[in-house]
Structures are given as structure tokens and as C-alpha cells.
Structure 1
Amino acid sequence: MKLGYIGRRSIFDVVKRIAFNIALFEKGDITVVDAGIRERGDIVLRCGDYRCVALEMFTSLPRILGGGKLGVDLGTSKNGVVYVWSGEPLLHAVLDWPSVEAILKNTNNLEVHIGASPYVDVKKAASLLNCNKVRLVDELTASWSRRWLRGKYPYLEEDEIDALSFTYYDGIAASIC
């Protein structure tokens, strides 16, 4: 899956920090366009800061592709979020809780994998999914793939590596209504 970007270089630098495989000034399978440019695209970005671009990408891309997996590593101050489609990681970000909350509220047709540990309030995140099923993945079990993922994606932060590792495990399916 190749993402293309058309727009200002400053916003591309932000998108590049979130997307795994994106090309500047090219159309791809999915094209991301800066709203300041009069060009048509699949995803139109009306903002340029990291948080806003991440929210737009994480809510728009799964809707366009129709499904996939969302890995979430909940933390006390920052949270890792990763979107995987057909086994290929497409998006990654480290976000604050209000941003993760907005992404979880807008998930449709996604398998959500959340790391479960005694230090995390999984119920709070799962309650945002409107009674949809969530997969709770034991963080200790998923930690076995961290080293391999860190070698494959050395530019990802620890929270993003954890979120990505959760998508590789089925975990326990739960629905909190």
C-alpha cells in the first residue's frame, strides 16, 4: 500500500512522522492532500499540527480502506497508536488521552487490540467503542516481539512498538457495554 501526498512540505514533514510509507508530490493508492492546495485527494488535511493530522489520518484511512487493526498502548501520560491493514502497518503515533479517545470513538469495522496490564484502565478505553468487541492482549506476552519490531522499525518510539506488537496477538475478546 502506497500513500501519496500533495501539498506543502511543512505538512508533509508532519504526515511523514505518522505514516509508514508515503511519497511527496505523488499520487498513491490513497492520496493525502493539503487543504491549502486546490487538488483532489482521498484524505484532505485542514490542519498542520501533529495531533490534528494524526486524528484526521487515523479516522479517515480506516474508513476508506474498510477495516484493519488498531493497536493501542495506554500509558499514564502518552499513548501509542498503530493502524495495520492487511498485515501491513500504515500509521503510527504517540498521542495524549483526548486524541486516543477521539480515535476510539470513531472506530468502525476495526479490530481494536489494547494492551492489558495491572497499570492500565482498559475499561475506560473499551467503553468508548460503543459495545464493539475489543481484544485485550497481555503486554507480557506481546513483549516477546518487541525486539524484532524495534530492529525492523528503529524510528518508532517505545509506545508505538508496543501498540504494533499488540496487533500481532489475538488476545481475549471482550465487549464492555
Structure 2
Amino acid sequence: MEIAYAGRRAIYEELLGILSDSVIRVEYMENVDDCGGDITLLDYYVDSPCRALRVGSDLVGEVAEAISESVDDLVVGADAGSRKFGLALLSGNELLMHAMLTPRRAEALLGRLRGVLAIGDNPLGRRVASRIGACGVFESVAMIDEAEASRKRDWLRGRYPSLRLDELDAVAIALSARGGIDWCRGQKIKIA
């Protein structure tokens, strides 16, 4: 997948920090008339003829939504915490995007995504899934045993050394969704 971006370099650097460079190539558009990429992002002030998504203050949310609309087999991994909320977007077993958000921002974002939601099975995770109406938003919702998922952490740390602990846990939770039971429908989860 390729994302083309035109605008402030600080936003470009932030994109490089939240997107997985092994799967998503981020290209800085020197010429704003050269429309390209699977997803084209423009800073709020850039004037261009490209069909593009304008990004502003909620870069993580805007990019996550764009990926959600572009990827058919998206799994959203969520490690819900009372202060920090790790979020990871995967396609197949490949990490596309990761972020650390406040619980309030994460809940607002989760309500705008689609695909399969994999969230840690604890009182907070169940409360978040209920509050955002996850059964009506996502194709499937998997409640994942966090102790089981955490066994992948060391392997994931070697693969993604720049991720913070809550982001690693979100990836581990997402990777554990395949073959789980849908919390909403009581049937096996199918991921394309």
C-alpha cells in the first residue's frame, strides 16, 4: 500500500512514526499536482487538484479511517487501559498502523472504524465494546484473553522494536483474533 502526502514535514514525520514501513510506503509529494498512492493525504492548507483526504489535528483518526475504508481484511487490535489505549490495525498478519491514544480518543475512533475488533477480555474492554456499540459497528468482535495474547509480546518486540508496550499488546491481541468466537453473534470469526 502506498500513501502519498503533501504538507508540513512534521506531519510527514508523524505519518512515518505511526505507519508500518514494511507494508505501507509513505511518499512525500514534492509536486502537489502529482496525484498518486492508494491513499492521498493533503495537509489542511495545501491546494491541489488531487482527490485526497485532508488531514488536520486528528491525524491518527483520519489515517485510521482511510485505511479502514481501503482494506478488506482489517483487524483492529485494542489494548484498553484506564490511562493509555494501545491501538493496532492489521491486514492479514501484517501491521499497518499503530498508535497510543487516550481512552476517550480511542473510543471515538473505534466507533468510526470497521472490520474485526479484537479487544482484551477484561471489564474495561467489555465496557468499551458496549459503549461504542461494537456489535453494530464491526463485522465481528473478539474478546481476547490478554494473558494468552501477551505470550506473543517477546516475539513481537523483536519484530517491531519501536512499538511501545501497549501498542505491542494491541498487535498481540489482533493476531489472536483469528479463529476466535464472535462476542456479538456467538459464532466462529472469519477473517478474509
Q: TM-score range by the shorter chain?
A: 0.7 to 0.9
Q: Tell me, which stretches of 5 or more residues in structure 1 are unaligned? A: none
Which residue number in structure 1 is paired with residue 164 of structure 2?
Answer: 157
Name the TM-score, length of structure 2 as normaliser.
Answer: 0.79
Which residue number in structure 2 is paired with residue 3 of structure 1?
Answer: 3
Q: Give the letter for the 2:164 counterpart.
A: E
Q: Does 1:20 align with 2:26?
A: no
Residues 90-147 of structure 1, C-alpha deviations (whole Å, 9 max, x = no match): 1110000111111121123x10000124xx4122211113534310111111112111
In 1: Cα distance, 2:52 partner to 2:89 partner: 17
Determine if contact 2:118/2:142 at 8 Å carries over to the other structure.
yes
Deviates more, 1:21-30 or 1:66-75: 21-30
The count of corresponding residues between Structure 1 and Structure 2 is 169
Which residue number in structure 1 is paired with residue 119 of structure 2?
Answer: 114
In 2: Cα distance, 1:43 partner to 1:145 partner: 35
Q: Secondary structure at the match of 1:172?
A: coil
2:43 to 24, 34, 37: 34
In 2: Cα distance, 1:157 partner to 1:41 partner: 34
Name the TM-score, length of structure 1 as normaliser.
Answer: 0.85
Which residue number in structure 2 is paired with residue 89 of structure 1?
Answer: 95
Change (3 A) 1:42 1:68: farther
Determine if contact 1:33/1:41 at 8 Å carries over to the other structure.
no
Which residue number in structure 2 is paired with residue 169 of structure 1?
Answer: 176
Determine if contact 1:94/1:159 at 8 Å carries over to the other structure.
yes
In 2: Cα distance, 1:162 partner to 1:174 partner: 20
Q: What is the CA distance between 1:37 and its match in structure 2?
A: 1.5
1:74 to 80, 103, 107: 80
CA RMSD of aligned residues (A): 2.0
Q: Alignment identity in percent?
A: 30
In 1: Cα distance, 2:176 partner to 2:135 partner: 21
Q: Secondary structure at the match of 1:20?
A: coil
1:148 to 138, 155, 174: 155
Determine if contact 1:43/1:61 at 8 Å carries over to the other structure.
no
Deviates more, 1:153-162 or 1:79-88: 79-88
Q: Give the letter for the 2:91 counterpart.
A: W
In 1: Cα distance, 2:51 partner to 2:153 partner: 35
Q: Secondary structure at the match of 1:149?
A: helix
Determine if contact 1:107/1:129 at 8 Å carries over to the other structure.
no
**Greater Rg by CA:** 2
